[in-house]
Amino acid sequence: MEARPGGNSKLINNLKPNKIMKKSFTAITWLLLVTCCFNSVHAQDVGTSKKTSIVAWDGMVVAGYVDRGAYVNFGGPSIKFINKPWSLAFGILPTMRIKEDKVAKGQPRNSVVMPTAGFGLTFVYRHLVLQIPLYYNNKTTASSGKWNPGLGLGYKF
């Protein structure tokens, strides 16, 4: 609905701050409840070392190569399958990419270090991390946008 000059809009009257706060509080409460349920599903499993869990951060550092440049990330939220001593995770990878643009002289360039996010698989064996991420390069005047696979090695704390 669109507000008309000189008239009251039903949309504005329906979205009072109290209702917005109440809906936000309800959504956050449900999200926390569901997250706690997923994290405690395997709390009573005794004697098995296999489990699947959702994790916010895995405590690792990974450096790798993607699209003629480097990247560094520290893991991110993921769905993780654990079978001690190894684990496999699929998730979002907040990253700092390091790449110098190859553009003609006088043309604008991107920063050498740029924050980005990708997604991919992370394999962990004890403290050794192998990561296969996918990152997207935006369309520019010099190249079209496309997904780029990478490969990284790291350490799990």
70 CB burial (10 A radius; 0-12, 13-18, 19+): middle
Task: Flag the least confident range among 3-7, 50-54, 69-73, 82-86.
Answer: 3-7
Interatomic CA distance for residues 30 and 22, integer angstroms:
12
- Residue 20 domain-assigned? yes
pLDDT band at residue 40 using 50, 70 and 90 as cut-offs: very low
Stated as kind and residue range, the H or E segment containing 63 is strand 60-66
Shared domain check, 30 and 71: no
Q: What is the pTM of this model?
A: 0.63
- Residue 132 domain-assigned? yes
pLDDT mean across residues, the chain: 79
- The whole domain housing 25 covers 10-39
Average pLDDT of span 141-146: 76
- Residue 74 domain-assigned? yes
Shared domain check, 16 and 75: no
Please give the residue that has the higher pLDDT: either 116 or 143. 116
- Residue 29 domain-assigned? yes
Instruction: Give the total number of structural domains in the chain.
Output: 2
Average pLDDT of span 107-122: 89
Shared domain check, 85 and 147: yes
64 CB contacts (<8 Å, ≥6 apart)? Answer: 70, 71, 131, 133, 150, 151, 152, 153, 154
Please give the residue that has the higher pLDDT: either 14 or 116. 116
Shared domain check, 55 and 15: no
CA dihedral 109, 115, 120, 124 (to 10 degrees): 120
How many angstroms separate the first and last alpha carbons of the chain?
Answer: 53
- pLDDT of amino acid 49: 64
Shared domain check, 92 and 125: yes
pLDDT band at residue 109 using 50, 70 and 90 as cut-offs: confident
Shared domain check, 26 and 88: no
Shared domain check, 28 and 56: no
Shared domain check, 134 and 57: yes
- Residue 3 domain-assigned? no
